[in-house]
Structure 1
């Protein structure tokens, strides 16, 4: 809802008195006395449809105070320019002036703070002398076909300029261009809103203050802002801008983004915020000659968003850290410091890097991003990396197989690891624990176990080829503790049901017996006592994959 007080403004009585005076050409109107305008060259016209009762009136402090002067010293217009739901086409004409290219117009405008109904204000120009012909319809512009500037041309509900209509006093400036030569004419404010009025979705109340028309004076001494040592502003470290006039001793006024900076009236200004800076030098009175300086854009150094990722967390393996820090614009120079949480100093590196950890445990990894040497805008991020170490690899027992006969192999099962046999030849699958091999040659396999941490364990398994199903026993062994041939075991080829393996001395006394051919084996002892070097007899039995009973015996030499 619109505020009732704002609706009532159309019925306010007009004030009295005229304080804005103009030179022969310049206009400097503060709207201290709106009724007096219309006896000093200003005029107004309402072409809204349907026609409403509201006109351009004295401002009200109950809605908002003026930009300068007394609280009511501004001119206002509102939604009652039309009735019901209609199109507002309300005009305010300035006095006639001689107008040429590079003449400038300045004014301040705003809408009430709070509930937003989109409003629109245009400043138009007629080159037809004292004409106030704007046509006869709610959309016509007549002789005022030149659009100088527009506030909220798209009827946006935003309350910031230029996105929408500002809800604080905002300076609007424009320069006359495109004329073929000097003309006699006048400017006009056009309050133009579709779907407006008391029942419309748009239009509310706008104020205009501090209107100035400044004729361009050729030959006005130039004013220049010196190029600063840097145009990059680090918050907390101000920059100094200085201006100088070509001649004379003018008064200065600094502007930020075309808005005057309060109190900035010397030839130097200390910058604490980014933006577009200009300075205006005024010579004589009342403002008979004004020069505008070059524009200096100060950019606030942007704050980056520090971030990184890492690919692994395995002890002894290089962990790759990928720098994913973002900063806008991307061309901003950024320095980076890494701390890998391993007790060392920070490392200064341009971007991606790697680090190898020597022990397990949690580490705090920190990345600091410093844009353009500005510590005030630095950003950092810390992530925890928990280092792991893989199980040790091992040599699995040799598997003896019959030539081109399907035989199951068996790898270790290591939880959390993805398994792969290499090379992936002669086996049914390279990614399962128990593939079937049809071996036509001897093959030494590597079994890779890969973890999410990047760790890797490698086992090995030898597959040997025999031409028949059989049980083989070595002819000698040396149980001396050197890890080589310390136990006597039968070698099974195609045996699916192993029965027994027994060892005897020369007198036929049984020294050893087992039904496990893979893991036990005889260590050359009897009842815990090492037997001497000698020749011993053995007997072994089992069934092959075809169900055939196989019994073998022979001799073995124990070497000390």
Structure 2
């Protein structure tokens, strides 16, 4: 008796009818056999080497069967579409964000209640980042030969980004760090940096920075000024040349000057001095000029050869102009008849052309002067001046 439809705990017996002539009874019932019938349910689970990857990275999935029999078969699927091969593993480098991976296993177990089983779903997180880099400079306007430093700031550069600095699109040999310093740039040069990220999720891996344009100014050559002559301890204003706006000045040495850090200091000293004038621009260009101040100890007196006492505020007085004179003993004026019409011993005082309250006529007048220099030297001189009205 053969059956393929027995259920669990079914009891099977047989009744035999004998044809033997000597039997006491014709039939006999056999022993009872109770059947035990069982089935198994196949299943499959999958896991991944990673569920979060960089876009384009490879990921491997592995199937683990239960009740799969001796040689189960597999059908991998991506978003419900068949993929891969009949294998317990599936590897792909083309998955996208939110792709869903499953596998259908077909069991060859003899007691399987159903032949196929579908796995759990694994959802993929795939991401990518875009690298960038910006650069800035310690200054964009410099003096020729001055140093300038550029610094790169990366975004999504990874742990150890690499750099290649360029000037006008040409690689600068050996300049591969995050900073670049140069003293040989020219005006109009454009500096950039190419950063290569080692972040595994970057796409693309390299990025080019913004360009920084450099302005380079040549320093103004220094010159030697024409020497000036000063009287000991008599204030004299010195003058440095003006090179433009935002320049600073430093006179070296500072001796004999009211201020050593201005363009036009006042000299008040009794010794010959040669000054170096250090002129610095706002971007660091330095020009060094030279000025020699000579000292004259010999007194000198100058009296104009004409004056016009007409009350217009110009040239109204006849008086001596003195150099290196500390004392005026007298300044006297005489008319053509030898009569003294004016006298003073005060430096800066002069004759207004009046005598005894009356304007004097147009004529030639004789003057004489006696003065004392700072060194005690007595200086005398005389001359003529024309009164004009």
> TM tier, shorter chain?
0.3 to 0.5
- TM-score, length-normalised on structure 1? 0.35
Which structure: larger Rg?
2
